[in-house]
């Protein structure tokens, strides 16, 4: 097992002659919930597809839990803005579906039918566990037509989690939802974070490592413990977008009041450092995550190592 859930080394990507991503370096350790923000079209989805393994980068290397990503693997899962559930399956059927695909061919189902039935029961039981994780224990038997957008998006999250990926990618996952549902799902992420902390306290590896693209700065700071900004507004921007902002951000407990005024300063800094096309800066000016951690680490139990 690697120290890092995800490691990106010198990743660049171009479409034809057009450079999109320029030398991206990133290390994320297990249990982090990282938000990625950046101007529309700067290459956020391109980066996620590279990490997913479906669209390899032009250059560079990606490691998920220490293993090179050379194609789609179980180590990385993704949830898109638009859930895509099977209408003919219940919530639990949808969540269990990936497990079935993974483990039983048609032939083996035929020959090992009794075993398959037993396994199927296990899969459905697991699916119910994961639906509980996303707050849908009451809706296991519902079909997609009977669910709201927010519920369907939770099913999609459970579908990704049940494969136990080392990293879950969320690409604007709540963008299609109305405000109340969006907030509900944000609390779900805060609860995952608390579970991560609990597992760390027990000396176990945290289960949820999440990399989430969002265009909502409040959402980014509220749900994540680290915010990354990508843009081309840096001195080498003609070579593509890169990480121009990387800092820790305040951690909220699900029971804390949602107080946006607490992070006004960081929000304004992000707006300036990542979205202001008049402000061209050195690409490393706001990339201070590891430095800030070493300062925070005095007196706290953060990872001992401090790679730059
Ligand atoms: N398959 C593709 N072929 C050519 N250009 C693409 C392709 N996919 C994305 N692009 C371009 O790459 C840039 C980054 O796109 P994308 O990663 O979707 O941005 P974001 O998710 O940050 O909005 C955009 O200029 C987009 O037009
Ligand atoms: Mg996108």
Helix (H, G, I), strand (E, B) or coil at 26: strand
- pLDDT tens digit sequence for 248-304: 999 899 998 888 888 899 999 999 999 999 999 899 999 999 888 777 766 554 444
Structurally, how many domains does the chain consist of?
Answer: 2
Q: Are residues 125 and 27 in the same domain?
A: no
Nearest to 200 by CA among 64, 300, 120, 102: 300
Q: Are residues 139 and 197 in the same domain?
A: no
Looking at the CA of 173, which ligand is closest?
A: 2
Nearest to 134 by CA among 110, 170, 99: 170
Q: How far apart are the CA of 25 and the centre of ligand 2, in A?
A: 19
Instruction: Give the bridge partners for 33, in sequence order.
Output: 210
Nearest to 191 by CA among 141, 146, 157, 214: 157
In testing the pocket of ligand 1, which one of 11, 12, 19, 20 has its CB within 8 Å of the most ligand atoms? 20
Contact 47, 21 (CB under 8 A): yes
Q: Are residues 173 and 53 in the same domain?
A: yes
Mean pLDDT of the chain: 90
- pLDDT tens digit sequence for 64-115: 999 999 999 889 999 988 778 999 999 999 999 878 765 556 666 666 677 7
Question: Hey, what are 245's tokens?
Answer: 């902002």
Residue 307: which pLDDT band, with cuts at 50, 70 and 90?
very low
Q: Is 48 in the pocket of ligand 1 (CB under 6 A)?
A: no
Residues 6+ positions from 300 with CB-CB distance below 8 Å: none
Distance separating alpha carbons of residues 42 and 86, to the nearest angstrom: 32
Give the range of the structural domain holding residue 91, as residue numbers without chain letter.
Answer: 85-164
Q: Is 40 in the pocket of ligand 1 (CB under 6 A)?
A: yes
Contact 88, 145 (CB under 8 A): no
What global pTM score does this model have?
Answer: 0.90
| Domain end residue (candidates: 132, 164, 196) | 164
CB neighbourhood size of 168 (10 A): 24
Helix (H, G, I), strand (E, B) or coil at 10: strand
| Domain end residue (candidates: 131, 164, 197) | 164
Looking at the CA of 20, which ligand is closest?
A: 1
| Domain end residue (candidates: 127, 143, 164) | 164
pLDDT of the residue at 294: 76
Q: Are residues 141 and 241 in the same domain?
A: no
| Residue 234 resides in a domain | yes
């Amino acid at each position: 097992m690697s120290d890092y859930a995800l490691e990106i080394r010198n990743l660049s990507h171009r479409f034809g002659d057009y450079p999109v991503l320029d030398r991206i370096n990133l290390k994320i350790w297990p249990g982090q919930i990282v938000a990625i923000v950046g101007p529309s079209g700067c290459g956020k989805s391109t980066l996620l597809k590279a990490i997913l393994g479906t669209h390899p980068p032009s250059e560079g290397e990606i490691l998920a839990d220490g293993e090179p990503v050379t194609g789609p693997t179980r180590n990385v899962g993704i949830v898109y803005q638009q859930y895509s559930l099977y209408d003919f399956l219940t919530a639990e059927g949808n969540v269990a579906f990936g497990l079935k695909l993974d483990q039983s061919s048609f032939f083996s189902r035929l020959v090992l039918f009794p075993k398959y039935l037993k396994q199927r029961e296990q899969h459905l039981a697991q699916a119910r566990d994961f639906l509980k994780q996303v707050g849908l224990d009451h809706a296991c038997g519902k079909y997609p037509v009977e669910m709201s957008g927010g519920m369907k998006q939770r099913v999609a999250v459970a579908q990704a989690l049940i494969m136990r990926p080392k990293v879950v990618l969320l690409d604007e996952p709540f963008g299609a939802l109305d405000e109340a549902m969006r907030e509900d799902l944000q609390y779900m992420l805060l609860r995952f974070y608390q579970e991560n902390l609990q597992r760390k306290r027990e000396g176990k590896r945290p289960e949820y490592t999440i990399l989430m693209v969002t265009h909502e700065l409040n959402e980014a700071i509220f749900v994540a413990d680290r915010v990354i900004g990508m843009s081309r507004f840096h001195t080498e921007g003609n070579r593509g977008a890169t990480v121009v902002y990387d800092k820790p951000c305040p951690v909220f407990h699900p029971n804390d009041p949602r107080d946006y005024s607490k992070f006004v300063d960081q929000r304004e800094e992000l707006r300036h450092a990542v979205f202001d096309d008049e402000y061209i800066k050195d690409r490393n000016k706001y990339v201070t995550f590891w430095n800030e951690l070493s300062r925070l680490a005095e007196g706290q139990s953060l990872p001992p190592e401090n790679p730059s």
